[in-house]
Chains A and B, each alone.
Chain A
Amino acid sequence: DDALKNPSKGKRKTGLDLETEIDEQIANLKVAMEKACMADNEAREKGQAATHKLKLLPQVTAMLNRTSVQEYVLDPDTNFLQSVKFFLEPLNDGSLPAYNIQRDIFNALTRLPITKEALLSSGIGKVVYFYTRSKRPEPSIKRIAERLVGEWSRPILKRTDDYKK
């Protein structure tokens, strides 16, 4: 009888349920990420260590590395990559986020099939380009940044090439 009264109980989640759940997870994480960025800037202004982003980093990389949610992570409307951009940005005092943040996020970015639409809506290309210009990142990080700029610009450069032919 109970099963009849509660038809959803014990059943597998429908596709729609799962979709809403992932959307919610990403939305919540985005809010937490923006808060962490602000908290870190405030900490630096007070001369304290910036630890908020670092604490959240495992959740961020887990989301980026979860192949099953990749389409949501890369969706230009969800725009999770914009929050990722905030994580990589220099802080108000000009310093870069912790090395672990740079390393884990840059490594995750190399594994994602990022589209032009996602690049345009997130602005993540701008901060990655900044890493190629700044002298502060470690050489290994700069190499990944240069590689990403090359990879992301290839389809655009190729289009011009095709056009000329």
Chain B
Amino acid sequence: RPRDRLVVDTTGLDKDALDDMEAIFGNGEDYDWALQMEEEEEEREREEQ
């Protein structure tokens, strides 16, 4: 599935700013396990219907 974008536009940022953004908000993988569980649960619910 496509990687979710930050809610802010990061295009055109210099490298230092991008590094800061990643250090503060993560690389988008920090809680991927929880998002994955969420998706699996939704799928189970869909199948049960």
Contact = CB atoms under 8 A, between A and B. Distances in A.
Given A90-B31, A90-B34, A149-B6, A129 B14 contact: no
A136 B10 CA distance: 25
Contacts of B21: 153, 156
Given A160-B12, A163-B14, A136 B24 contact: no
B38 A127 contact: no
Interface string B30-48: 1101110110011000000
Contacts of A133: 4, 31, 35
B7 A149 contact: yes
Interface residues of B, number: 24
A78 to B, nearest CB: 18
A86 interface: no
A163 B13 CA distance: 10
Interface string A112-126: 000010011001011
Interface of B: 4, 6-8, 10, 12-14, 17, 20-21, 23-26, 30-31, 33-35, 37-38, 41-42
10 contacts: A90-B34, A119-B24, A125-B25, A129-B6, A130-B30, A134-B38, A152-B25, A156-B21, A159-B17, A160-B14
